[in-house]
Amino acid sequence: MIDVKCLASGSAGNSYAIDDGESVLLLEAGIPAKKIMTGYLDMISRIAGCLITHEHGDHAKGAADLAAKGIDLYATAGTFEGIEGIDRPYRKHVVRVGEQLRLSSWTVLPFESEHDCNEPCGYLIYSHVTQEKLLFATDTFYIPNTFKALNYIMVECNYSLPILNESIRSGLIPEQLKGRLLRSHFSLEHVKEFLAANDMNTVRHIYLIHLSGNNSNPDQFKSEIQRVAGKPVTVF
């Protein structure tokens, strides 16, 4: 079993850790490094590296300090270009979409995502210990690939269109923000389409991440996804 932990999820910051019993991968560094190191204290000696999807602060603001604390970072060249202050170049490991890499007990395959930044990606992650596959996809308005035999899905569920429209109507968020959201983030409706397009047979657990404070409803999202997928769902 792959153990999934979360210290922060959403536009204020993202930090997740996955553990297959042998080694640990950090996913995103969007909170201060000190919080990451103390939050995963019991796993620290087993951390194989930190995968980052893109350079936005809520995913990367702790990256430079994390590298200074001895954690290897993995991201695309474009993502690294957008992260300032990494003064230990040997901690930077450039990944390329479609090229898999071995990282301790894991094999990681970066795949293309669609977001308003340099060179974003998602990660398909396989544990050689548990022989399970986990998908990590966030901050994308589209996932071009479909995936076979997934066991765990960690996917952004940022907003739902009816709630977003209501937030705009009530003046909670400005109308101009809608266009950006639609072209950069994954919605409840997107998650449903994505799950329908992928083989759900082997899926054990779905984790919904990066919910918007104004435009989401955690209880509703959980029950709707649970109903369409027929799998247990956790909302982070």
Contact set with Zn ion (CB under 5 A): 56, 58, 139
Distances (CA, A) of 233 to 99, 155, 229: 30, 11, 9
CA 168 to mean position of chain CA atoms: 26
Cα 182 to Cα 167: distance, rounded to the nearest angstrom: 14
Task: Extract the tokens encoding 204.
Answer: 């054990």
Q: How far is the CB of 20 from Zn ion (least distance, A)?
A: 25
Sort 210 into a burial class: Cβ within 10 Å, 0-12 / 13-18 / 19+. buried
- Residue closer to Zn ion by CB (options 100, 184) is 184
Q: How far is the CB of 210 from Zn ion (least distance, A)?
A: 6
- Residue closer to Zn ion by CB (options 82, 107) is 82
- Residue closer to Zn ion by CB (options 35, 46) is 35
Contact 51, 133 (CB under 8 A): no
Location of structure tokens 């956790």: 234
Q: How far is the CB of 113 from Zn ion (least distance, A)?
A: 10
Q: Which amino acid is at 182?
A: L
CA 130 to mean position of chain CA atoms: 21
Please name the residues in contact with 117: beta carbons below 8 A apart, sequence gap of 6 or more: 54, 55, 56, 78, 79, 82, 139
Beta bridge partners of 101: 108
Q: How far is the CB of 179 from Zn ion (least distance, A)?
A: 15
- Residue closer to Zn ion by CB (options 56, 133) is 56
Q: How far is the CB of 164 from Zn ion (least distance, A)?
A: 16
Task: Give me the half-sphere count of Cα atoms (radius 13 Å) on the Cβ side of residue 172.
Answer: 13
Q: How far is the CB of 61 from Zn ion (least distance, A)?
A: 11
- Residue closer to Zn ion by CB (options 70, 218) is 218
- The 8-class DSSP code of residue 26 comes to E
- Residue closer to Zn ion by CB (options 48, 143) is 143
- Residue closer to Zn ion by CB (options 3, 81) is 81
Q: How far is the CB of 202 from Zn ion (least distance, A)?
A: 28
**CA-only gyration radius of the chain, Å:** 17
